[in-house]
Amino acid sequence: MASPIRFDTDPSRYRHLRLEIDGEIARIVIEADEQGGIAPGYELKLNSYDLGVDIELHDAIQRLRFCHPQVRAVVLTSGLDKVFCAGANIRMLAQAGHAQKVNFCKFTNETRNAIEEAGTDSGQAYLAAVNGNAAGGGYELALACDEIIMIDDGSAAVSLPEVPLLAVLPGTGGLTRLVDKRKVRKDLADVVATRSEGVRAKTAVDWGLVDAIAPPSKFGQAVLDRARAAAARSRRAPGGPGIELTPLDREVRDEGLRYPNVTAAFDRAAGLVTITVHAPPAGAPASLAAAREQGAGFWPLAVTRELDDLILWLRTNETELGTWLIKTSGDAATVLGYERLLAGAAGRDWLADEIRHFAKRTLRRLDVTSRSLFALIEPGSCFAGPLAELALACDRQFMLNGLPDGELAPGAGQAPGPATLTLSAANFGAFPMSNGLSRLASRFPGDPGHVAKLEQLTGRPVEAEEALGLGLVTFAPDDLDWEDEIRIACEERASLSPDALTGMEANLRFAGPETPQTKIFGRLTAWQNWVFTRPNASGPEGALRRYGTGQAGVFDRNRA
């Protein structure tokens, strides 16, 4: 594989964005460096984006929340004249392999969801100031914002030209957000999504494609007025100054990755990675003020950053590691102590809120990760509260029943007791899945009474047999069977078709209600993945491959 993609950056390294802060209002100004593509072979003209641009956007959204807590409204706009954003770079897409396209779309979708959640969760509403053409992913980026203000200059248009020009879908939530978020009439959405030239300002506001329009002379002021109004409505919790998100301490080796609180060990022959999340080495600080002094090293923030980075790294750079074994290590009571500190300040302290929202987003990233996820709950592990949520995000939970038989290695200290799983208030709504349900509610969709019963167990460590009886784990082999059972389950998983597993997991993980987010990852993404594989888009004569060559795509006209 080529050099790995890194998802961590900081504003000093941005090539495509400017982040401007002015009191309560921030501006993210996109001005893509045409020569700054993350891969060779294309130029980022007209503010088109690739993964490199999106990594900066992702970073900027994250930093606004943690480093600039005073910000209450964010204006997303373009530094170019007459152009807001031309969407995903088409040559980049055309030259990308299938897995790359799919992974790129997943990350961009997650980033757009992060924009929406900044408004709903964190009181940082986004306003798209569409100062010129917003095409395809450019308009979809605006659709992810809370409000869209569009310049009415007689030429700017919003458009979704993917279907007519490229024979693919607006795959970054556009179709879903038109009808499900903005409630655009579906026949009008049909017109928008098939009209390559798009829709100018007056019709756009009539059809509900944007919220407001303004002539060039009044555009800047209109944007500012709306940003101020959004800031005034913000319910962002108070708290101290921002936290500096210092560079991640990540050691990369061929056999795995190592962060201070998270390790990943690869077994390439078996297609496995073992991820271990380590409990804090010391108890929680006495107060949030003391936590703040720990900065980015404060364990709940540090471990979430590391896990989030690891998920992105593995998804992008280690596509043959199809099964992730998820373990924890350390003291459960310490984990719960940190969680109590944060939960106690919920709604009253922006930092406590941000850390938990970040954990929620990271867990959701896991939910949509196209890898098989097995939790291994062993003696010495600390699946408690937020870390129990990690186990519940997995496709299966294996819990060792009783104690290992072997002798303790010399110098290993006291042997841990039997494996336990500890639920806390965190497991009953603090980290909802993107379908709006807690992972426990989604695990027992037909049985709210059982979830209520589980709530009675809050704080009590539950051993394997009881956990099995309560349905908290899938299997609870004893020490005699443990290694064989895990090995067989991993070998079996590795023998199955990666595509079939991806489809199966995507269908099983989201029982219950659907939301725009689940529709984007379930319905829209699945159709887009299908369309991407079809010769009409990606074959040698397909429209995506031929775009820009002057030759139109040649289509098999049979409908499937």
Picking from 363, 274, 277, the residue whose alpha carbon sits closest to that of residue 321 is 274
Q: Do 125 and 147 form a contact (C-beta atoms < 8 A)?
A: yes
Q: What token pair was written down for 398?
A: 């294996």
> Does 451 engage in binding with its own copies (CB under 8 A)?
no
Q: How far is the CB of 197 from its own copies (least distance, A)?
A: 12
Q: How far is the CB of 272 from its own copies (least distance, A)?
A: 12
> Does 67 engage in binding with its own copies (CB under 8 A)?
no
Q: Which CB, 269 or 412, lies closer to its own copies?
A: 269
Q: What token pair was written down for 518?
A: 């689940």
> Does 533 engage in binding with its own copies (CB under 8 A)?
yes
- The count of residues in the chain is 560
Q: How far is the CB of 450 from its own copies (least distance, A)?
A: 10
> Does 477 engage in binding with its own copies (CB under 8 A)?
no
DSSP 393: T
> Does 159 engage in binding with its own copies (CB under 8 A)?
no
Subset of residues 188 to 227 that bind its own copies, contact rule: CB under 8 A? 188-191, 193-194
Residue written as tokens 């890898």?
371
For residue 348, the tally of other CB atoms under 10 A from its CB is: 12
Binding mask 92-121 for its own copies (x = CB under 8 A): ------xx--xx------------------
Cα separations in angstroms, 306 against 147, 266, 290, 295, 462: 32, 17, 21, 15, 28
For residue 139, the tally of other CB atoms under 10 A from its CB is: 34
Subset of residues 361 to 380 that bind its own copies, contact rule: CB under 8 A? 370-371
- Residues 442, 457, 476, 490: which binds its own copies (CB under 8 A)? 442
Q: For its own copies, which stretch binds (CB under 8 A), given 108-116, 222-230, 455-463, 530-538?
A: 530-538
Q: How far is the CB of 386 from its own copies (least distance, A)?
A: 20
DSSP 268: T
For residue 334, the tally of other CB atoms under 10 A from its CB is: 18
> Does 316 engage in binding with its own copies (CB under 8 A)?
no
- Residues 183, 202, 218, 453: which binds its own copies (CB under 8 A)? 183
- Residues 154, 289, 453, 530: which binds its own copies (CB under 8 A)? 530
**Residue 220 to residue 8: CA distance in whole angstroms:** 32
Q: Do 109 and 520 form a contact (C-beta atoms < 8 A)?
A: yes
Residue written as tokens 């987010």?
517
> Does 145 engage in binding with its own copies (CB under 8 A)?
no
> Does 485 engage in binding with its own copies (CB under 8 A)?
no
Picking from 432, 475, 239, 195, the residue whose alpha carbon sits closest to that of residue 342 is 239
Q: How far is the CB of 318 from its own copies (least distance, A)?
A: 9
Q: For its own copies, which stretch binds (CB under 8 A), given 328-336, 343-351, 412-420, 514-522?
A: 514-522
Question: Strands 147-151 and 256-258: what pairing?
Answer: unpaired
> Does 257 engage in binding with its own copies (CB under 8 A)?
no
Q: How many residues bind its own copies (CB under 8 A)?
A: 90
